[in-house]
Amino acid sequence: MSDGSPYRPDGQGFPPSPEGRTTSAVRPYVITGGRADAGAAPLSWESLVMAAETEVPATLQPEHRVILAHCQGLLSVAEVAAHLGQPPSVVQVLLADLRAWGLLVTRPPIPPAERADVSMLRKVLHGLESRL
Amino acid sequence: MASKAVSDAEAPGMAGAPGAPGGPRSPEPPGSRLPHGAEGAGTGGKYVAPTVAGAAKILVVGPLGVGKTTLIGTVSEIEPLSTEAVMTQAGARVDTGGERTKRTTTVALDFGRMTLGDELVLYLFGTPGQQRFLPAWRDLAKGALGALALIDTRDLAASFDALGNLEDLGLPFAIAANVFPGSPRYPEDELRLALDLLPDTPLVACDAREHRSSVEALIALVRHLIDTATVTTQSSEQPR
């Protein structure tokens, strides 16, 4: 799945980080190093993510660190974004980094082939019916 | 569009909504401050239960003020969250009016979550209906099971854009008429005509403040999705 470069303790696995930043706030894409897309296959808003059970490297950027702090259990990309108060498009980039470094595990959304799959829809139906 | 406002047929009020239980059901504490641990896991906590293997999503669409967030809050196990989709170009002119066209703008999206059984979690994304928000829909609609389109019978025309967007995207949907105090109750066939609905598109009445009523509207949608999927499967039986 994640074919990105693994995290490297020397920090070379990281995107260029805006060094010497001292302002209290920066525009969102400064955080992502100007990258606006999360690579080939961005995580969809409903993808579930969770911090991997790996020690967090000391050199990790604060933005990535904050995300991991919010991901101590399963959460959707949209929830992570909402908790952070950042647009999902920004959070998708940071999550893709974390996944590439092996610091984040994901449970992808139901694959397209199964979406129209009747047995899956029945699961949703039964789930809803049990909520009545 | 062929739709026109329904004539002022006097509404044969379906029995008024049962005594509205004080607005949206108050959700469980969100516990969104918990920094660590599994204490937040499961329905009602911050985190999705660890047994959940996959997520699905349904869009809840409709014009401003139609009750999208109310419905989501009524059925969601978490307090509805809000996030912003970045939207480019199309429609930005409408927002800024005039020459100085912004390149991007944002649109707020409220969403909620329902854990269904042990393995599945369903996200409900409230999506504003205006035609100019169509770009924001495209990504969100990708992979969605379908959409529940909320309408307000006091202002049917306000829903036309949302329905048009759904048709453009080819997303299957059901219609739920959210019942407001004083909402006109039109006969179903008049509503169908006004909204230009296909015969098999479900049309239900709901009270977005009521849990059961809101869940039933979602059930109507999912039943429709199952019917649609069944038909599609049968008609595409031939191997490619």
pLDDT for A26 beyond 80: no
Identify which has the larger pLDDT, A14 or B59: B59
Cross-chain Cβ contact A117/B225 below 8 Å = no
Identify whether B186 is part of a domain: yes
Identify whether B22 is part of a domain: no
pLDDT for B17 beyond 60: no
Identify whether A33 is part of a domain: yes
Q: Which residues of B touch A121 (CB under 8 A)?
A: 145, 222, 225-226, 229
Domain holding B220: CATH number? 3.40.50.300
Identify whether A62 is part of a domain: yes
Could you give the percent of chain B with pLDDT greater than 70?
70
Identify whether A60 is part of a domain: yes
B112: nearest Cα among B57, B173, B51, B61:
B57
Q: Quick one: tokens of B13?
A: 């009020």
pLDDT for B20 beyond 50: no
pLDDT for B175 beyond 60: yes
Identify whether A20 is part of a domain: no
What total of structural domains would you count in chain B? Answer: 1
Identify whether B230 is part of a domain: yes
Identify whether B9 is part of a domain: no
List pLDDT tens digits, range B54-68. 899 999 999 989 999
Could you give the percent of chain B with pLDDT greater than 90?
52
Residue B166 CB partners (closer than 8 Å, separation 6+) = B61, B147, B149, B173
Q: Which of B25, B32, B34, B47 to mutate to test the interface with A (most CBs of A within 10 A)?
A: B47
In the prediction, which pLDDT does B92 show?
40
Residue B156 is part of which domain span? 49-234
Residue B54 CB partners (closer than 8 Å, separation 6+) = A48, A107, A108, A109, A110, B119, B120, B121
Cross-chain Cβ contact A107/B38 below 8 Å = no
List pLDDT tens digits, range B75-134. 999 999 998 877 655 444 444 444 445 556 677 889 999 999 999 999 999 988 777 777
Identify whether B26 is part of a domain: no
This model's pTM is above 0.90:
no
Identify whether B42 is part of a domain: no
Domain holding A117: CATH number? 1.10.10
Q: Does B154 touch chain A (CB under 8 A)?
A: no
Identify whether B20 is part of a domain: no
List pLDDT tens digits, range B192-217. 999 999 999 999 999 999 999 999 99
pLDDT for A38 beyond 80: no
A123-127, Cβ contacts within 8 angstroms, sequence gap of 24 or more: A123/B116, A123/B117, A123/B119, A123/B120, A124/B56, A124/B116, A124/B120, A124/B122, A124/B145, A124/B222, A125/B219, A125/B222, A125/B223, A125/B226, A126/B116, A126/B117, A127/B114, A127/B116, A127/B117, A127/B120, A127/B122
- Kindly report the nearest CA distance between residue A8 and chain B, in angstroms: 25
Identify whether B154 is part of a domain: yes
Identify whether A37 is part of a domain: yes
What total of structural domains would you count in chain A? Answer: 1
Residue A91 CB partners (closer than 8 Å, separation 6+) = A67, A77, A80, A81, A84
In the prediction, which pLDDT does A114 show?
54
Q: Does B32 touch chain A (CB under 8 A)?
A: yes
Residue A42 is part of which domain span? 28-129
